[in-house]
Amino acid sequence: MTLTPIKTPLVAKKMFPNYVWDIPTDDKTLYLTFDDGPTPEITNWVLNTLKSFNAKATFFCIGKNIETHRDIFQNILNDGHAIGNHTYNHVKGWKTKTKDYLFEIDKTQSIISSQMMDFSSSNMNLFRPPYGQITPKQGKELMKLGYKIIMWDVISFDWDKTVTMETCLNNVTAKSTNGSIIVFHDSIKASKNMQYILPKVLKHFSEKGYNFNPLIF
């Protein structure tokens, strides 16, 4: 079990104010995000589930997965979701030299750009560090390059096999508030929990009058 809190503490957000943790708003809006895809076993299912609730999200994609599953990546684009960079090999920033980390991100960004040539978007500058690991130097260099570093307000723990499906669901429904950025994963590891919790999260908040929007800056 990870020691990462379900709801990011305010003190953490204040320590790194240049990172995006949530979107302050009085509106009933949530920002669903999906890390680690595209993955054949689950991403298309996620897309169909989102579509059934007229929900838009942001997908933080791994470069090598885009290369391997270009058709699924196109499905994400075709459905009008936002795209973010999640490095090429899902590397840990704390264990990676800055120049190597930036290379991973640049390589992925080139792949994303080539796939989005037919999509006009000013929203190609989103980055989420795998595992939430990023050094101050890496963050500074990325912001100089124009990236928005997207963290999270609520994390579901959908990938954690020690966490029950019911607990994953409660993590999201109990902790999410207006403007929360919520982390899910369209990965094989998370697929069982995802198939249980995503429809219920969408139904729960839809009935409360919430909208689900992509991250756009």
CA distances (Å), origin 202, targets 97, 108, 136, 156, 211: 39, 30, 35, 14, 9
The average confidence (pLDDT) of the chain is 95
**Count of all residues that appear for the chain in the document:** 217
Whole-prediction pTM: 0.96
What is the percent of the chain where pLDDT is above 70?
Answer: 96
Which domain, by its residues, includes 142?
A: 10-212
Let me know if 86 is a catalytic residue: no
What CATH number does residue 121 fall under? 3.20.20.370
Q: What is the pLDDT of residue 153?
A: 98
Q: What is the pLDDT of residue 118?
A: 62
Is the pLDDT assigned to residue 53 strictly greater than 50?
Answer: yes
Tell me the mean pLDDT in the region 119-135: 83
Is residue 2 one of the residues assigned to a domain? no
Which residue in 35, 36, 153, 186 is the catalytic one?
35
Question: For 12-34, what is each residue's pLDDT tens digit?
Answer: 999 999 999 999 999 999 999 99
Let me know if 158 is a catalytic residue: no
Q: Token digits for 2?
A: 């990870």
Structural domains in the chain (count): 1
Question: For 138-176, what is each residue's pLDDT tens digit?
Answer: 999 999 999 999 999 999 999 999 999 999 999 999 999
Is residue 41 one of the residues assigned to a domain? yes
Residues 34 and 212 sit within 8 Å (Cβ to Cβ):
no
Is residue 137 one of the residues assigned to a domain? yes
Which amino acid, residue 92? K
Question: For 115-124, what is each residue's pLDDT tens digit?
Answer: 887 665 556 7
Which residue in 69, 81, 86, 185 is the catalytic one?
185
Is residue 147 one of the residues assigned to a domain? yes
CA distance 86 to 89: 8
